[in-house]
Amino acid sequence: MQKLDLITDFAEITHGAAITTPTHGWRAKCLQRLGRLDMPVPRTVAVSAAAVQAIAAGRSLDCAGVLACFGPDALVSVRPSPENPEWGGPSTVLNIGMNAARHAGLVLTHGQAAADALYLRFVQGYAVHVARLDPDMFEIAEPSAQALRDALRAYRDEMDEPFPEDPARQLAEVLRSMARAWAGTSARLLRQSKGAPEDAPLGLVVQEMVQGMGQGLSGTGVIQFIDPVTGLEQITGRFVGQSQSTDLNDVCEEALYLTRDPRGPSLEDLAPEIFATLARQGAACRAKLREEMQIKFTIDRNSLAVIDAVRVPRSSRAGLRIAVELAQDGIITREEAILRVEPRALSELLHPQVDPRGPRDVVARGIAASPGAATGRIVFSSAAAQASESRGEACILVRRETAPEDIRGMHSAVGVLTERGGMTSHAAVIGRGLGLPCIVGASDLSFDAKALTITSKSGRKFVEGDVITVDGTTGEVLAGATEMLPPALDDAFRTLLSWADDVRDIGIRANADTPADALVARNFMAQGIGLCRTEHMFFEEARLVAMREMIFADTPADRAAALARLLPMQRDDFVQVFEIMQGLPVCIRLFDPPLHEFLPHSREGMRELAEALDRPLSEVIRRAEALAEFNPMLGMRGVRLGIVLPEIYDMQAQAIFEAVIEVARRGGSIVPEIMIPLVSARREVELVKTRIDAVAARVRTAKLTDFAFKLGVMVETPRAALRAGDIAQHAAFLSFGTNDLTQMTYGLSRDDAGRFMNTYVQQGVFPEDPFHILDVDGVGELLLIGAERGRQTREKLTLSICGEHGGNPESIAFCRKAGFDYVSCSPYRVPLARLAAAHLAL
């Protein structure tokens, strides 16, 4: 094993002393570990970040002293070693120390061709990265003696001096240029965009070159022992004969398969011992570095050297599997495995995929930028996406390319498609962040921004409102809707989340309105339903009429008739939901229909309703006008409906209780939680409670069966939060509906905020969209006040949050700190919430 030397400060070279990631960077630390694992790492000197900083400031290092650590004829490379590999760094320079004398020596050991190629490579690297000459002048396709002479001449002509021969000077110049490049503005901005602090340090490693060129088997490769997409065990990588490490990305004929392959020669065939050694080293890395590593290696005339190793770059799915398997093999603890998986990364594993068995009407292909598939109607602007979302219609946002102004539209869309862009373009990055299926660079679709159409190569035209499917996993755009497969929740996924459940200390429920939602919630192992929006059970076309009939009823008799139609539908839904949830708590919110969501808006809609209700159009119009509200969000909604027309809640309570009895008859058991929405005064709760108790008594008597239930209140108005102490006298639980609470705290309409939210966030009025990220300062304070006052009245009061914020890791942290019992979020966010809650508890 070669020793790793160390330059801690300027003049001093110590041997094998402490190297830490903060002082010398990740690469130096990693090389030291590889050396300790007895891997054949070439001799390396680590230059500390402090020394690099001094070099950038103009001091010069004793490079002759550094080179003395290596053999007299050694060539060296210099590679960056920042604290975090993601932060990049200046380009590696290889073959430092090359001059006429060493070239002559290499001719003897490695042959003329290899010696010429190595010298040429150094001149190129030095000219471009150190002397900063124009790369075009040094791009030579075929290495040859002539090409080398040309490059040396070009250097002399440009610099007015011959190419430097002195190895110490070469090294000093390389170190200086790398140190300065790191200190420069563009490098700083680049690494800051990857999360590095402004003053992130850079270490450098100087390593003896092992030539991957010459007689016998020579070349450079990378090898890893898992599939970076699935995380399953599999040897993948690449080996390129007659090459050095920076060639690995080039496409070239000398590439060998790593493992035995019928298509051509492999490293395993040609060098079985080296292959076996690499496999052993991979296993040693995994066990000792506690990570799946990608090993970069060079073979020089049949002998192996390990140049480097990095954490295998991986998909979220693979990252999760790797963490779980490392824990299952006892290499890391379960807690570590939990902490290694970023909760937000789970969302991309959760999305539906296009069923490969179904037909696919592919109209275009682009770059698969964010996985999962989604079907929706085409919209061409963020405003249209937001409008579509508020109508409850899934939409695909189609743009030429996206810009930060489109983020709000992306939040509203189920998928994104752009004509331009690549894997790291705005749409791709944001799409992945949101777990939103996304295709970018679909350049075979032509986008007409004026006419608002997209046209495929074959001439098929799509306009706003047409239904398409984006398959962000394959990059295919499909016409129409397609069969979807539910998300793949494999064993590793389930295992990790079950470990998370063992450590977390706040409950996670799902917002689920229908039996279908309840199934998803169950599948994601929600601990119950925290919000069942009962009016959403009637959004379905066939049922909407029954709901509208009830809303439109003019007389008590008409209303009673409409309610009688709704009752069995409600009861059947509740029976199904209770059965799916198998005894887990289900919190049912009594009707809260903002009337504008249920009334037809257009004359056409009125006519259809008149037909469905078998009433004259004029009567429907008159009734719609009578019910119209200037601000339906602040009108006859929620409990107000329950107070003014109490028979509606009576019907719902009856349906709930009858469903409880039916489920019990079938052998199940459930204690439903009935929640009153939009409360602002204690008296509202008293009135509703009295009626519901009466209904319960009637059902008990009629069915000769007893049952239990809980009654609670949804805190959605600032007054309810302030009066929580009062309200809690009649409530077994309080659930904070932070959508309305945010709307009312800000006096900001949920439906209209999108119009100016962008400007507000851009100008720093709001740090974030408060409908997306909980406003802890304002709305959060109301939560704390409500929680405290509520618990003063009733010590065992159950507290929760059920607005859209419930699935946000930051909001979960807030609620946990405030002593809430659970958060409730949309079913697809449940796994993320389970993992985020576990992170908080560790």
Residue 808 assigned ligand-binding role: no
Residue 340 CB coordination number (10 Å)? 18
Based on CB atoms, which residue is closest to Mg ion, 46 or 688?
Answer: 688
Residue 18 CB coordination number (10 Å)? 10
Question: Among residues 99, 302, 455, 739, which is the contact residue for ligand PEP, using CB under 6 A?
Answer: 739
Based on CB atoms, which residue is closest to Mg ion, 208 or 592?
Answer: 592
- Site map 493..532 versus ligand PEP, x via CB under 6 A: --------------------------------------x-
Q: Which does 143 bind (CB under 5 to 8 A by kind): ligand PEP, Mg ion, none?
A: none
Q: How far apart are CA 565 and CA 444, in angstroms?
A: 52
Q: DSSP letters of 597-651?
A: GTS--SHHHHHHHHHHHT--HHHHHHHHHHH--SSGGGSS-HHHHHHHSHHHHHH
Residue 628, C-beta contacts closer than 8 angstroms, at least 6 positions apart: 595, 599
Residue 738 assigned ligand-binding role: yes
> Which residues, 792 to 811, sit near ligand PEP by CB under 6 A?
802-803
Based on CB atoms, which residue is closest to ligand PEP, 92 or 743?
Answer: 743
Total residues binding Mg ion (CB under 5 A): 3
Q: How far apart are CA 323 and CA 339, in angstroms?
A: 9
Which residues make beta-bridge pairs with 236?
A: 224
Q: Which does 314 bind (CB under 5 to 8 A by kind): ligand PEP, Mg ion, none?
A: none
Residue 739 assigned ligand-binding role: yes
Q: For residue 119, how far is the Cα from the chain centroid?
A: 45
Based on CB atoms, which residue is closest to ligand PEP, 426 or 533?
Answer: 533
Identify the active-site residue in 63, 802, 815, 825: 802
Instruction: Report, in Å, the least distance between residue 690 CB and ligand PEP.
Output: 24
Residue 658 assigned ligand-binding role: no
By CB under 6 A, is residue 737 in contact with ligand PEP? yes
Based on CB atoms, which residue is closest to Mg ion, 549 or 684?
Answer: 684
State which amino acid sits at residue 343: P
Q: Within 13 Å of residue 180, how many CA atoms lie on the same side as its CB?
A: 14
Based on CB atoms, which residue is closest to ligand PEP, 379 or 802?
Answer: 802
Question: Among residues 431, 487, 737, 786, which is the contact residue for Mg ion, using CB under 5 A?
Answer: 737
By CB under 6 A, is residue 167 in contact with ligand PEP? no
By CB under 6 A, is residue 533 in contact with ligand PEP? yes
Cα-flanking dihedrals φ and ψ of residue 315, to 5°? Answer: -80, 165
SS3 731: coil
By CB under 6 A, is residue 713 in contact with ligand PEP? no
Annotation marks residue 438 as catalytic: no
Task: Specify whether the CB–CB gap between 507 and 527 falls below 8 A.
Answer: yes
Token pair in block for residue 255? 């590439």
Based on CB atoms, which residue is closest to ligand PEP, 201 or 677?
Answer: 677
SS3 572: helix
By CB under 6 A, is residue 717 in contact with ligand PEP? no
Q: How far apart are CA 233 and CA 216, in angstroms?
A: 31
Please state, in angstroms and as integers, the Cα–Cα distance from residue 655 to each residue in 458, 651, 672, 691, following that order. 55, 6, 12, 14
Note the helical H segments in 79-221.
100-110, 112-125, 145-159, 167-183, 185-193
Q: Which does 531 bind (CB under 5 to 8 A by kind): Mg ion, ligand PEP, none?
A: ligand PEP
DSSP-derived pairing of the beta strands 255-256 and 233-241: antiparallel
By CB under 6 A, is residue 593 in contact with ligand PEP? no
Annotation marks residue 802 as catalytic: yes
End-to-end CA gap in the chain: 39
Identify the active-site residue in 110, 129, 426, 536: 426
By CB under 6 A, is residue 738 in contact with ligand PEP? yes
By CB under 6 A, is residue 716 in contact with ligand PEP? yes
Instruction: Report, in Å, the least distance between residue 535 CB and ligand PEP.
Output: 8
* Contact residues for ligand PEP, defined by CB under 6 A: 531, 533, 716, 737-740, 802-803
Q: Binding site for Mg(2+): which residues?
A: 716, 740
* Contact residues for Mg ion, defined by CB under 5 A: 716, 737, 740
Active site residues: 426, 802
Q: Binding site for substrate: which residues?
A: 533, 589, 716, 737-740
